[in-house]
Homo-oligomer: A and B are copies of this chain.
Amino acid sequence: MSPDQETLAWLSLGLIAELTPTGFRKLLAALSTPESICAADRATLARTVSADVAAAIARGPDPERLDAAHRWLEDPANRLVSFADKAYPRLLLEITDPPPLLYVKGNPALLDHASLAVVGSRNGTQQGRSNAEAFSRELSEGGFTIISGLAIGIDAAAHAGGLAASSSSIAVVGTGLDIVYPARNRDLAYRLAGEGALVSEFALGTPALASNFPRRNRLISGLSRGCLVVEAALKSGSLITARFALEQGREVFAIPGSIHSPLSKGCHLLIKQGAKLVESGRDILEELGATVHDQGTTIATHDEVAPDNPLLAALGFDPLDLDTLCRHSGLTPDTASAMLLTLELEGIVSRLPGGRFQRVR
């Protein structure tokens, strides 16, 4: 089955390297549809984009690449998702620079599922990879699809954790979707194509270019409700993703580690700048959980408050000072002070200004 005219127009325009997402969006605003952009002459196009870009569009894409793109689209696992498509992820429309066209392999419905980015260093430690997998598994089980970048190290562990539980995983890649990069993750990419999804904004045939990876990172955060950084050096792609997440108004989470580990320094910097320190997937679910499904457990389980504690009996639920408490309970000031501190630490008693105490539960 050959693609319809609209799909053909999206495919063609996606292959024009000179056309930035911004230029593409401006042309869509000016000329309404991709077909009318393809049909427009240079002079019309040059009213909206530069002469060079107008010329490139008028020339059209390389016929061989266009043919290859047609063949790619014949595989039922593959799909184009454009601005005009109901399957286009809503969260991505909120970002500054949304790509007009996404190439998707796998399950496109996952794109609009509640998602979390889990990212980190290619050189992650064994503990870091283990943390990435454990957090991702817990988050996937808790209702969040895990989004990462298909890199080796932390990314691969995050995908594995997401795939292992109920909400699966999406890889957002920096190459054309007909290329698997890095080759070491070929098996993982096949699993994602079958049970999750792979997504790219880059035209089919786009090789692994260093310059495309930071740009790709804005989609990892843009598709996600929040971004967890597992292990990251001070100047790293993961921090770029976290910065995008902040700009896009997403929550940023970071796992702490030893102050002597270079791969914790990025996480510590983020925490200093306001990211939430997290020790488990549960910490993240609690932060975002109210809008997902109820986890069915309370946030903290307290031991039952000792019913025959003489100090609590004397205190009741009204504020009292230490001297009065001692008179009421018959305890010495030292014993009462120590008991109050224990109760305070357990969240049963609160210390008020002026040296008074109040039972709070």
Cβ < 8 Å to B, chain A residues 100-151:
127, 131
Bound Cα distance A359, B30 (Å): 30
Establish whether residues B338 and A211, one from each chain, have CB atoms under 8 Å apart when the complex forms.
yes
Question: What chain B residues lie within 8 Å of A23 (beta carbons)?
Answer: 323
The complex places the Cα of A277 from the Cα of B270 at a distance, in Å, of 10
Which of B256, B327, B334 interacts with A268 by CB under 8 Å?
A: B256
Q: Is B247 a contact partner of A256 (Cβ separation < 8 A)?
A: no
Residue A309 at the chain B interface, CB threshold 8 Å: no
In whole angstroms, what is the CA distance A302 to B53 when docked?
37
Residue A353 lies at the interface, judged by CB distance under 8 Å to chain B:
yes
A294 interfacial contact with B, CB 8 Å: no
Within 8 Å of chain B (Cβ to Cβ): is A152?
no
Decide: A337 and B211 in contact? CB cutoff 8 A.
yes
Total copies of this chain within the assembly: 2
Contacts of A335 in B (CB 8 A): 211
- Quick check: A20 and B276 within 8 Å, CB to CB? no
Determine whether the beta carbon of B333 is less than 8 Å from that of A20: yes
Alpha-carbon distance between A118 and B327 when the two chains are bound, in angstroms: 36
Q: How far is the CA of A40 from the CA of B131 in the complex (A)?
A: 68
| Contact status A327-B50, CB under 8 Å | yes
What are 24 A-B pairs with beta-carbon distances under 8 A? A17-B332, A18-B332, A20-B322, A50-B327, A96-B353, A96-B354, A97-B355, A127-B260, A131-B259, A209-B334, A212-B338, A215-B334, A240-B341, A240-B344, A243-B344, A255-B259, A256-B257, A256-B258, A256-B264, A256-B271, A257-B258, A257-B259, A268-B279, A277-B277
